[in-house]
Amino acid sequence: MADPHHADDANAYVRGHMAIKEQISTFRLFLDLAKWGSLAVACLVLLLTLWFHPGGNFVVALLGTVVLAVAGFFALRSKHDVVHRD
């Protein structure tokens, strides 16, 4: 059962004033690693798929992978840094 005295605590909420600089940098690092890691995995999968399918060719696979990597680089590169405002 819910305790009725907790309902009063919702009105006493005060927004925190903690510095979140480290959390912001950790979150940005996670996003960057996920973003570039996903591109690397996609390039590897494309390379291996085009290379090892029946009739596959390493040069064609490498060319397709380079095209994907360049397109992914321009699509995923950082835009202007967004400044966190409190």
Q: What pLDDT, in 10s, does the model give residues 29-83? A: 999 999 999 999 999 999 999 999 999 999 999 999 999 999 999 999 987 655 5
Instruction: Specify if 63 maps to a domain.
Output: yes
Instruction: Specify if 7 maps to a domain.
Output: no
Q: Which residues span the domain enclosing 43? A: 35-81
Instruction: Specify if 28 maps to a domain.
Output: no
User: Number of structural domains, the chain?
Assistant: 1
Q: Which residue has the higher pLDDT, 14 or 67?
A: 67
The pair of structure tokens assigned to 41 is 């995995």
Question: So what's the pLDDT on residue 16?
Answer: 73
Instruction: Specify if 21 maps to a domain.
Output: no
Instruction: Specify if 15 maps to a domain.
Output: no
Query: Residue 84 pLDDT more than 80?
Result: no
Question: So what's the pLDDT on residue 78?
Answer: 80
Question: So what's the pLDDT on residue 79?
Answer: 75
Instruction: Specify if 49 maps to a domain.
Output: yes
Instruction: Specify if 40 maps to a domain.
Output: yes
The pair of structure tokens assigned to 72 is 């992914």
CB-based burial label for 57 (10 Å; 0-12, 13-18, 19+) = exposed
The contacts of residue 51 (CB under 8 Å, 6+ apart) are: 57, 58, 61
